[in-house]
Amino acid sequence: MNALLFPGQGVQKVGMLNDLFENNSSAKDIVNEISSSLNFDLLELLVEDPENKINLTEFAQPSILVSSILVSKFIKIDQKIEITAGLSLGEYSALVYTGCLQLSDAVTLVNHRGKLMQSAVPEGTAGMLVVLNMPISDVHKMIDVINNDEERINFSTDNADGVSVLAGKNVAIEACKNYIEVNDYKRVKTQMVQMSVPSHCYLLKEAQDKLATLLNEVEFKEPSIPVIPNVLAKPTTNVEVIKESLVNQLTNTVRWRESINYLVTNGLSLMIDAGPGKTIINMARKIKDIEKLSLFE
């Protein structure tokens, strides 16, 4: 089984499509056309970013989606893709690839999604913490302990074995760091995620309700191949299930580790990463006996 996988926010960087633009003038035309539906110049953002906006959620999300889709469109993939998935924001890219969403609709959606997320959480009040080398069972135990102390933390993203991301207000993030130190987890490392808004947590409930309204205004078609929604970790082609999953994704855990495990268990032979930086491939480095390719190589 061959899978095309799309990255989420955090992989964006200025110039990530420069090689593609040099070799495919029509790629620039597509970006310019998309810009007409946005309130900013997407091409300028991707090539130069003179105002240093690309890492802000409302700008990062359309940048990543468009980059992933253009690369998957213009770079020839010899193998037949049989299933797809996307990490967090990447789920929208996967839906565009399968024809479930039109690119123009998806770009508008993720731009609004980013704005809703940005406005839902006051800047500097919350964050996301990567926890490395802690067993999943211990991560859940830590979350239970901290939440019992009335500091609320959510398991934002279950990326891979030993790679977990937590989200919550700053005081809860500090409580996690303190828990790890007090309990003497010598091998466990932590680092803050460089994102302007925490994702997949209770703080986005207001944004979630508004996103549900926006999704109902957009046409969805049955995808050409199965898609694995983040909150389900198993494939579907049901449009209503897909829409519901996009809504639930904002406040629920991204089950990426389980999604990859599903693919491996069901005969995955080739994993293709459609994003810069090889984030998807790197998280799967411990998985043996499957071929891994990056479209950005």
Q: Is 200 a catalytic residue?
A: yes
155-191 pLDDT tens trace: 999 999 999 999 999 999 999 999 999 999 999 999 9
Strand, helix or coil for residue 157: strand
- Domains of the chain in start order, with CATH, are 2-121+202-294 (3.40.366.10), 126-192 (3.30.70.250)
Q: Is 36 a catalytic residue?
A: no
DSSP E strand boundaries for the chain? 2-6, 83-86, 126-132, 153-160, 163-169, 189-192, 227-228, 270-273, 291-294
196-214 pLDDT tens trace: 789 999 999 999 999 999 9
Q: What is the DSSP letter of 21?
A: H
30-42 pLDDT tens trace: 988 888 888 889 8
Q: Which of 63, 72, 199, 200 is catalytic?
A: 200
Q: Which of 35, 63, 68, 88 is catalytic?
A: 88
Q: What is the predicted pLDDT for the residue at 258?
A: 96
Q: What is the predicted pLDDT for the residue at 150?
A: 67
Token pair of 141, please? Answer: 């135990």
17-69 pLDDT tens trace: 888 888 888 988 898 888 888 888 989 999 988 888 888 888 888 898 999 99
- Please state the rounded mean pLDDT for residues 250-255: 96
